[in-house]
Structure 1
Amino acid sequence: MAIDVQKLHRTLAVPALAAGALVVLAGCATPAGGGSGDGAVKVGITVSNSTNPFFVAESRTAEETAKAAGAEVISQEAGEDVQTQSNQIDQFITSGVSFIVIDPVDSDGVGPAVKRAIDAGIPVIGIDSVTKNATVSITTNNTQAGEVSCVSLAEQLGGEGKIAILDGTPISAVADRVTGCKAALEDYPGIEIVAEQRGDNSRDKALPVATDILTANPDIDGVFAINDPTAAGVQLAAEQKGLDIIITSVDGAKSAVDVILAGGMITATAAQDPAALAKQGVETGLAILDGTDPESDLIELPTELIDADSAPDYTPWG
C-alpha cells in the first residue's frame, strides 16, 4: 500500500485554549427547529477531560458555535471516567437538551447512555471517535492518520529497525490509528514491532510506560505514539535513558510542531483539527433539528502529515 503523504495537504487552525469542566449558559435566541420546553435550543457537550489541549479546543469551539447560533449550552468534561460521562448524558436528558455533542471516554462504554438519549428523542453527535449508538459520528480519518505517521517512521528508518507502539484508551480513534499504522508497516518487512503497550493518551502516563519499553528494549530505533501528549512522554523517557530515537504521532498540536521545527526526537505528526470536528458536530446537530439528516452515520475529515518539510507552512492548534 503505497501512500503519498505529500498529497495530503490541508491548513488547520484552532482558537486558543479554554478551561474545561464548566457550565456555560448562553443567550436564548432560538434558531429554527427543535428546542427545550421553552422553545430555546439547548446543547449538551461532554468531552473526555480538561487537561488535553485537544479536548479543551473541542469544548471551546463547540460552545462558541452553539452560542453563536443562539443556543443555551451545558458543557462538561468527564475526567476520563466513562461512568461520569454516562451520568452527564443522563443529566442532559433530564435537562431537556435538544441534542448532545460527545467526545467519548470509551467509544463502546458510553453506548447504553447514548441509547437512552436517542430513545428520549435526543440526537447524539459523536466527535473525534465513532460513538456507539450515536446518530452520527464525525471523526478525523484516523486510519489514514496512523498510516501516514508510520510510513514516515518507516521511511526515516530506511525501512529497517525495531519500533514500539504506544497505544491509548479504548476509543475508536486510537484503535483506528494503530490499525492504520500496522497496515502501513506491512509494506516494510524490515521493521519489527518489539513492544506494544497502552497508555491513557497523556504525557504523564506515557512516561513510565515508555520507560519500561525502553528499558526492556535499549536498542529500539523508533516509536509510534497515538497522540502528541503520548509522544512527549516517550521523548522524555528517551531523554532520561540517554537514547536518541525517532518518534511519530498523531494530532498536529503546537507542542509537537515546536519539537519538529527544533529538530527533536518527535519528527512527524499526522494533523487533525479539533475546531473543525467540534464546529461540524454542533452544526450537524442544528441541521438535524431543522429536519436535515446526515447523509451517513460516519463523516471522516482528512489528515495531513506535518514534518520538517511541511511544518514551516502549517498553523498548529494548541
Structure 2
Amino acid sequence: MKKKVLSAILSIAMVATMLIGCSTESPVSDDSSSEDGGSEGGGKKIGITIQNIENAYWAGVMSKLQEILDENGYDATIVGCEENASTQISQIENFITSGCDMIMVHPHDADAVEESCKQAMDAGIKVMCWDNEMENTTANWVLDNTELGKEIGKTAAAFINEHYTADNKAEVCVIGKPDTQVLLERQQGIEAGLEENCEDNYEIVATIEGVVNNEVQSQAETVLQAHPDCKVWVGVGAGAMIGSNTALLAHYGGAGNIPEDVGVITTDVTSEQLDALQAGDEAVRAIVGFEGSNTDTAQACFEMFEKILNGEFDDVSGDEKNVYRPTMEINMDNIEEIQAGM
C-alpha cells in the first residue's frame, strides 16, 4: 500500500520567498523562454494559479512543487488569485499569451474560469484542474469533496459519541467556506457525516467561514463569547483547525488545560497541525489527510503534469478525465509514523 504521510508547512522565510515570487501581475516575462515555449534546460513552460497563496497548506505544497519542477527543468510560474475570480481569469490569459505548454488552475470559481480555460485549450495548451470536475480541461485531479466532508464528520462523530450523550449534547461549530463550491460541498458533507453517525448527542450552535488562520481565530473567539461551552469544532481546511485551536487555547488558559471533551477535527494538514496533534495537550484530535507530506502531494501533482504533457489524457473525456485522490485519518495512533516521514 502506498505510504501516506502528511503535508508540512513552509518556514517563515520560505513563505516570504513564495510571496515575493507569486504576485498577481503578468507571471512570465517576455524574454524568459525560447521560441518553442520551453526553458533553457529543455523543459516546458507551466503556469499555475491557485485560490490563495496565504493559505498554509497551499503555500507548503506549492513551494515543494516549484522545487520539483525546477529540478526537472520546467519553466514554472505559480501565482495566487487570492480568492478573486477576475484576477484568476487575468492570470490564465497571461499564461496563454506567454506561450505556456500547460496551465494548472485551482479555481476560486470553476464556472467563472471555464471560458478562459477553453481559450487555452483552443490555443493548443493543455489544462489541468486541481479540485473541480471542470469541462474545459485535459484532466481534473480531484477529491470527492462531499465524501471527504463525510469522513471529517464521521471522525468528529466518533469523538462526540465517546464524550457526549443525548442528555449532555456537544455544542458544535462548523467552519466552512460557502463561496467556494468545493468547500461548500465539503461543509455539506461534514454536516451530513455528523447527522449520519452521531447518536442524537450534538447541536450545531454556530457556523463560521474562513480558510486563513487569523480570520478563523477571530471568528472563533466571537463564537466562544456567545457559546462558551462550544467544545467540538469541525472545518474544511488547515486554517479552520489552526485558527480554532488557537482560540480554544486562549479560552482555556493554554496547552495542558484543554478538557478531554474538547476537540477540533478538520482536513488539509500542515506541520503546525501535526505538531498540535502530537503534543496531545491541545484541542486538535484528528485530521483527515491526502497523499502525504508536502513533497508527496507535490510529487503526485508533478506526475499528473507529466502524464498530461505526454498525451495520456488526449483521447479521454467525461468521467475518464477525472483522477480521484485518496484520503486517510491521522490521529494519535499513527502520528509518530507520519511525523517520521515528514
What is the TM-score with the length of structure 1 in the denominator?
0.82
Given the alignment, which residue of 272, 287, 299 partners 1:269? 287
Distance in 1, Cα, partners of 2:124 & 2:327: 33
Distance in 2, Cα, partners of 1:172 & 1:316: 34
**Structure 2 residue identity aligned to 1:100:** I
Establish whether residue 96 from structure 1 lines up as the match of residue 89 from structure 2: no
Secondary structure of the residue aligned to 1:293 is coil
Structure 1 residues 250-269: aligned runs within 5 Å = 250-263=267-280, 264-269=282-287
Given the alignment, which residue of 260, 283, 290 partners 2:303? 283
Shift in CA distance, 86/317, structure 1 to aligned 2, threshold 3 Å? farther
Q: Note if contact 1:65-1:282 (Cα within 8 Å) is conserved in structure 2.
A: yes
What is the CA distance between 1:82 and its match in structure 2?
2.4
Q: Which runs of 4+ in 1 moved over 6 A?
A: 27-30
Secondary structure of the residue aligned to 1:252 is coil
Given the alignment, which residue of 206, 217, 221 partners 2:227? 217
Given the alignment, which residue of 3, 11, 17 partners 2:4? 11
Structure 1 residues 1-318: aligned runs within 5 Å = 10-12=3-5, 17=10, 18=14, 19-21=17-19, 22=21, 36=37, 41-131=44-134, 133-158=136-161, 160=165, 161-168=170-177, 170-185=179-194, 186-188=196-198, 189-199=200-210, 201-242=211-252, 244=259, 245-263=262-280, 264-272=282-290, 273=292, 274-293=294-313, 296-315=320-339
Deviations 1:165-212 (A, max 9, x none): 01026334423322332222223232222222222x011110222122
Deviations 1:51-107 (A, max 9, x none): 323212332333333334432222222233322222111100000100112222333
Paired-residue identity, %: 24
Distance in 2, Cα, partners of 1:94 & 1:14: 33
Cα RMSD (Å) of the superposition? 3.2
Q: In the alignment, what sits opposite 2:24?
A: none
Alignment: residue pair count: 305
Distance in 1, Cα, partners of 2:340 & 2:114: 32
**Structure 2 residue identity aligned to 1:36:** G
Shift in CA distance, 119/317, structure 1 to aligned 2, threshold 3 Å? farther
In structure 2, stretches of 5+ residues that fail to align are: 22-26, 253-257
Distance in 1, Cα, partners of 2:341 & 2:182: 18
Secondary structure of the residue aligned to 2:339 is coil
Secondary structure of the residue aligned to 1:137 is strand
Deviations 1:136-187 (A, max 9, x none): 2213444343233222222222264221101026334423322332222223
